Chains A and B, each alone.
Chain A
Amino acid sequence: MDALIEILTNLHPEVDFDTCETLVDDKIIDSFDIVSIISEVNEEYDVVIPAEEIIPENFNSAKALYALIKKLEDEE
């Protein structure tokens, strides 16, 4: 989880990713961020986030995104 928080904090140092649960709904992250996050998650965790998982629910909070990464790791 720490590595993920670091990836996110590098994009938006002013956001508290431990608590924020409206990253998409409140337009905190944009399409550029999504592309960066997916590519860095791929490098850090060696998981590929497939298109069908690139949905608002999975990106609204660091917690949700981390759950997705864990799920994808288990599927491998």
Chain B
Amino acid sequence: MNMQQRNVLEYLEGAVSKWPDKVAYSNGDPESDITFAEVFQRSAAIGSCLYSKGYYKEPVVVFMKKHPNAIVAFYGCVYGGNYYVPLDEEMPRFRIDLILSNLKPRAMICDEDTVKIANEMNFEGEIFLYDEIINSSVDIEAIDMIRSRQIDTDPIYIVFTSGSTGIPKGVVACHRSVIDYIENLSDVLEFNHDTIFGNQTPLYFDACLKELYPTLKFGATAVIIPKSLFMFPIKLVEFLNEHKINTVCWVVSALTMISSFKTFDKIKPEYLHTIAFGSEVFPIKQLNIWRECLPEAKFTNLYGPTEATGMCCYFKVDREFALDDVVPIGGPFNNTEILLLNDKNELAGPGETGEICVRGTSLTLGYYGNFEKTSEVFVQNPLNKFYPELIYRTGDIGKRNERGELVFVSRKDYQIKHMGHRIELGEIEVNVNLLDAVKICCCVYDKEKDKIKLYYVGDMTSAEIIAILKEKLPRYMIPNKVEQLETMPLTANGKIDRKMLSSMNKDN
């Protein structure tokens, strides 16, 4: 590990010097393969072009389909001294417009498909076509100058996460926290030069950092798995085998998609030896099916919020669990501390629950253009009365078990995890309440069945509501069930009776 590293691009430059012709990223189609030398050459070209056109130290939107080229565009933004903001072609227009009005970006990189959509957006800046911008000449002098002025707390990316007020929040991360994350994650999961990642998570969240940067650090290879394969378990395992994928960091629902249909009776992953999962509870029954199929493989539970650059805790599955057990979160990565703070802002005692708070270099810089929201959750460490020191309050409630391992207990608000995505139920409700015909609505989450249920009172059919929500919210935020009520159940205090709604939820 290079203690002096200040810029994530040093990972790329190290890989290029040692393994220029090795394939870095692919999507399974050989025509998409891109070598480290090509990643370097093309991203340096993008950076040179952006800088020469006057885009420097500002957000640059990367609006491209999920493809190795999008990753190159990310690095290109960083080469130019900018920070990338990934948007996805499947994001609804309404959400993209919200994000653009928050960012007010001046530049955007598109591919030939997404440029058509971009032309219809409320975007007045300059659009660069990927296929054209990579042919720009590389200005080594400019790149060196940008690098010499850069410091490791400069931002690299902004990713947007659900906001309870209906407006997504942009989390800004810097070189230093990403380097800290990549180094510690790599130690825990023991990535190396022979690692072949099978990427599942979207490129527009922090989750994909796990594959993107370790690929550069070790000169490994990352294969983006086509999203449609996650519907068809046998085809998915065939793909893993065809591409000799040995390492996956997936959301739990992607893993259980395979294990719950007896897929392993027909076909087994032949090369897979490292399986990391997170963001959701792994049902022990499904975990056991996986461990039985791959007894030699290492299984690791990861935990962490986007605000702390991805993951910050891990638990290596080292023992059998009873069917009603929960896999622990475990303990923090090196160079991170977890504080469990109770209601009095003191450390929780043995067995006592408390809010999980993160302390360390892994903290991101906060929410873009939103000092108010930032200061609500990035706060002074209440245990430190003597100098400024920030911690991040996750809003997750946890406790330590008798072994001293951290265990997730619940949320202190209405944020949920669904299909690996973090969702504020309030964001769904705000969008439904905007409809004139809706008088009142409430969203509840059925944890057992992993379903979001929306109840509403108003003169609209559930089909109409779903159709409108699909234009406004990402797919994973669309309620799984929408039900019209005559009246909304209220508590004695006149608030919506969520408990009553949740119990209605259980009945069907």
Contact = CB atoms under 8 A, between A and B. Distances in A.
Contacts of B263: 51
B447 to A, nearest CB: 15
A31 B463 contact: no
Contact of B231 (A10, A34, A50): A34
A38 B260 CA distance: 11
Contacts of A31: 230-231, 253-254, 257
Interface stretch (B95-103, B121-129, B164-172, B232-240): B232-240
Nearest to B262: A51
- Classify chain B: how many residues form its interface, as a range: 20 to 34
Contacts of B419: 32
Contact of B466 (A12, A54, A55): A12
Interface residues of A, number: 23
A3 interface: no
B1 interface: no
B475 interface: yes
B467 interface: yes
B232 A11 contact: no
Interface string A23-45: 01001011110111010000000
B258 to A, nearest CB: 8
B265 interface: yes
B266 interface: yes
Interface string A8-21: 00111110000000
A73 B261 CA distance: 18
Contact of B257 (A11, A27, A35): A35
Contacts of A12: 466
A20 to B, nearest CB: 14
B461 to A, nearest CB: 7
Chain B interface SS verdict (over half): helix
Contacts of A52: 234, 266
Nearest to A56: B232
Given A13-B463, A14-B467, A24-B228, A54 B233 contact: yes
Contact of A38 (B235, B261, B470): B261
A30 B257 CA distance: 12
Contact of A24 (B231, B254, B463, B470): B231
Residue from B261, B266, B461, B476 whose CB has the most chain A CB atoms within 10 Å = B261
B334 interface: no
A30 B231 contact: yes
Contacts of B266: 51-52
A50 B266 CA distance: 10
B466 A14 contact: yes
A56 B229 CA distance: 10
Given A32-B253, A51-B261, 18 more contacts: A10-B481, A11-B480, A12-B466, A14-B463, A14-B466, A31-B231, A31-B253, A31-B257, A32-B476, A34-B257, A49-B261, A50-B262, A51-B263, A51-B266, A54-B231, A54-B232, A55-B234, A55-B235
Interface of A: 10-14, 24, 27, 29-32, 34-36, 38, 49-52, 54-56, 59
12 contacts: A11-B480, A13-B463, A13-B466, A13-B467, A24-B231, A31-B254, A32-B476, A35-B260, A50-B262, A51-B234, A51-B263, A51-B265
